[in-house]
Structure 1
């Protein structure tokens, strides 16, 4: 490795919460319109890790076990929104995502898209085949990992 290349790598940092949020927003924008229409009002949150209550509720052994989580009422359970009900939201967990990314051969953009689609999709009653099709459509215009 040349000194120039080594110098470049010495400047690179792990993506911040804000950078993962921007990547998630770009990934969401690249999803097919029909899928995004199902997601009206869904909020995307980025945290470093799930909180202790979530880890316990999900039966996780480590804070690295959960890449993302959907909270809310999906279309399969849709009805009248109750007063005081929190809006539908997806949480993406930066540190577990980065850990998974470091151990696998895929782009960070693809991983974020995958987790986003699956967290929303399962709660909206979509099949794995449906979600694979949505991901394939998004991959055609995958956001940059830059």
Structure 2
């Protein structure tokens, strides 16, 4: 019995780290699609019921915005072909409870190589049919002063 308990306690961190890696890879897939303006790839890791929200801090105060997923996906078709943007994720803090995960990811956002703004993304994911899907994404945005 002691050996079985030891084995369970030994394997628990390995299972937890594997789950965290799956969540991190889901978010990385989202950003691969985001940077490539590939809505098919983005949709592959997002729930159809995904909620998108932003808290934008500016000189005129702070505002809260919500965007429908269909508007988010459609916005990629309006970007000029020569526009280059990159969201650099600085770190991942991932917590998991059963079929729910939360990832806190500070970032810097660059447009044509120049820092535009920074903030944090908060992803909530749901494990559906053994696949993690993003169900909620809220971010903060602060312009470089």
**Larger of the two Rg values belongs to structure:** 2
Larger strand percent: 2
Same-fold status (TM-score > 0.5): no
TM-score, normalised relative to structure 1 = 0.29
